[in-house]
Amino acid sequence: MSEVIINIDGVNPLAFYGVNNSKLNLLKKAFPKLKIVSRGTKVKLAGNEEDIQEVQKKINLMLSMLEREGHLSDTSVEEMLSEEQNFEITEPSGTREVLVHGRNGLQVKPRTMNQKRMVEASERSDIVFAIGPAGTGKTYTAVALAVRALKNKLVKKIILTRPAVEAGESLGFLPGDLKEKIDPYLRPLYDALDDMIPIEKLNYYMENRVIEVAPLAFMRGRTLDHAFIILDEAQNTTHSQLKMFLTRIGPSAKCMITGDLTQIDLPRNQESGLRRGISLLSDIEGIDVVYLNEHDVIRHKLVKQIIQAYNKDAEANGDLGNDNLRSKNNGKRRD
């Protein structure tokens, strides 16, 4: 008799086993000669080698579906276990653009033309700048791309960072330990992750540093490789900070830099590193720049009108924001 222990760390045990162990019982029913025992996140198989190998394949299929879609029905398990068909995980029609299947069946996909350009640019370039106003989905799309890369095992980890700069107000002394002090600056990144990864799995990733969220200052001196790296709110980096960040990137990393050049919170005597960085780097092979605008806003319908009003005011006062950097070849392809 052979024995094998399968570890299902990283998935919700309830989602895998089912309510009252319904999915586990389906496995036991399909392989009555095999002893199948679950203990927390471990499944022990005992029996003949051939049955064990077959159940391992079925369990891997179940884990793959949970990983990809965030849920697993009893019906899907029954189909996987059927001897009458070779079960494959396929995408339903019309979901080819889905980047991630998030929590509660949420399908995360690009919803505007420029968000699609972000996806295309990320697929062809290792460094992508995504520039546009608030509400255009820059950060959300970037996080979805990172989660997709992790799920598809294209990278080993996700690193999310942003400069800890107060947005036009003084927060004063913040109580708590270091994590509690910096978390308010990083909250938008956590919110996006919460939408896309089940809470148990997200906690597992965070505890094991598969997903790392940290202030930009913590990137100094590191080499960031085999990772999908996102620098958010990059308009609040200085020239030296952005240079420091970009020179951390390892040979097997992907990087997306997001920012809004109309909302710079640096002191007036400091130039935004993002503004200068785009002008210096946009023509380098392997670096892409995608611009988003009010047409990409997916928040409240009034947000588009608010952005348009501020843009008109900026033009009237000679402050063109990011328009003076706009490339005629938005999301340009380099063949």
Burial class (CB in 10 A: 0-12, 13-18, 19+), 164: middle
The 10s digit of each residue's pLDDT in 303-313 is: 777 877 887 88
Which tens digit of pLDDT belongs to each residue from 155-187? 999 999 988 765 444 445 556 655 666 677 678
Query: 3-state class of 240 per DSSP?
Result: helix
Instruction: Give the domain CATH number at 213.
Output: 3.40.50.300
Query: Is there a domain that residue 91 lies in?
Result: no
How far, in Å, CA of 129 to CA of 278, rounded? 8
In a domain, 300, yes or no: yes
Q: What is the CATH number of the domain that holds 71?
A: 3.30.1370.10
What is the b/e burial string over 266-301, where b = at least 16 CB atoms within 10 angstroms of the residue's CB?
eeeeeebbbbbbbeebeeeeebbbbbbbbebbeeee
User: Which residue bears the tokens 């697993």?
Assistant: 72
Residues 281 and 150 in one domain: yes
108 belongs to a structural domain: yes
Read off the tokens for 8.
């299902």
Cα–Cα distance measured from residue 59 to residue 82, given in angstroms and rounded to the nearest whole number: 14
Q: Are 134 and 202 part of one and the same domain?
A: yes
pTM for this one? 0.64
Note whether residue 89 is domain-resident. Answer: no
Q: In whole angstroms, give the CA distance from residue 280 to residue 293.
A: 22
Q: Are residues 137 and 58 in the same domain?
A: no
Asked if residue 268 belongs to a domain, the reply is yes
Q: Is 260 found in the same domain as 138?
A: yes
Residues 75 and 105 in one domain: no
- Point out the domain boundary residue: 28, 52, 81: 81
Same domain, 148 and 203: yes
Residue 332: inside a domain, yes or no?
no
Looking at the fold, whether 169 and 315 belong to one and the same domain comes out as yes
Helices (H), 70-124: 74-81, 113-124
CB distance 61 to 11 below 8 Å? no
Q: List the structure tokens of 118.
A: 């972000």
The per-residue pLDDT for 90 is: 47
Rounded to 10 degrees, the C-alpha dihedral 315/319/324/330 comes to -70
**Which of 81, 115, 144 is the last residue in one of the domains?**
81
Query: Tens-digit pLDDT profile for the chain (335 aa)?
Result: 788 898 887 678 888 888 889 989 999 988 888 999 998 889 999 998 888 888 888 888 888 777 766 677 887 788 777 654 444 444 443 434 788 877 766 778 888 889 999 999 999 999 999 999 888 889 999 999 999 999 889 999 999 998 876 544 444 555 665 566 667 767 888 888 888 988 888 999 999 999 998 888 889 889 999 999 999 999 999 999 999 999 999 999 999 999 999 888 888 888 899 999 999 998 999 999 999 988 787 766 677 778 778 878 877 876 654 444 444 345 444 43
Assess if residue 222 is contained within a domain. yes
For the chain, how big is the Rg over CA atoms in Å? 23
- Structure tokens that stand for 252 in this block: 């097997």
Answer yes or no: do 213 and 285 share one domain. yes
Please state, in angstroms and rounded to a whole number, the distance separating the CA atoms of residues 289 and 308: 22
CA gap 108, 96 in Å, rounded: 11
Which helix (H) or strand (E) segment holds residue 66: the answer is helix 49-69
Q: Are residues 72 and 125 in the same domain?
A: no
- Phi, psi dihedral angles at 77 (to 5 degrees): -65, -40
H-helix segments, 210-262 = 239-246
Distances (CA, A) of 310 to 15, 37, 301, 306, 324: 47, 62, 15, 6, 16
Assigned domain for 334 exists = no
- Res 64: pLDDT: 79
Q: Of 26, 48, 81, which residue constitutes the final position of a domain?
A: 81
State pLDDT tens for residues 52-68: 888 888 888 888 777 76
What is the C-alpha to C-alpha distance for residues 195 and 189, in angstroms, rounded to an integer? 10
Number of domains in the chain: 2
Cα separation, 104 vs 9, in Å, equals 20
Letter for the amino acid at 19? V
Residue recorded with tokens 């064990």: 52
Q: Are 56 and 6 in contact (CB under 8 A)?
A: yes
Residues 277 and 158 in one domain: yes
Q: Are residues 199 and 267 in the same domain?
A: yes
CA distance 330 to 207: 39
Same domain, 281 and 196: yes
Tell me which residue range forms the domain holding 266.
Answer: 100-325
